Structure 1
Amino acid sequence: MRALTAAAIGLAAALALVLTITAIGVPAGRTSPKPLLTTVPRHP
């Protein structure tokens, strides 16, 4: 029974966190048009 209670509390906390982030909204800003480099450029 304790495990079920702990799982319910954890689920409620996770749901509250998601709802809080959703209510706050996406932070203002813009993404860079330049692609990120995933490898080190090779020098000739």
Structure 2
Amino acid sequence: MRALIAAATGLAVALALVLALTAMGSPAGETSPKPLLTTVPAHP
């Protein structure tokens, strides 16, 4: 029974954290117009 209570408490805390982060919204800022290079260009 303790395990069930602990799991429910953990789930409630995680849900509260997600809701708090969602309520705060995304941070204000701008994205870079330049694309990110994820690979090294091949040498011929």
Same fold? TM cut 0.5: yes
Output the TM-score relative to the length of structure 1.
0.77
| RMSD value, Cα | 1.4
Other-structure match for 2:38: 38
Other-structure match for 2:3: 3
Unaligned runs of 5+ in 2: none
Output the TM-score relative to the length of structure 2.
0.77
Report deviation, 1:41.
3.0
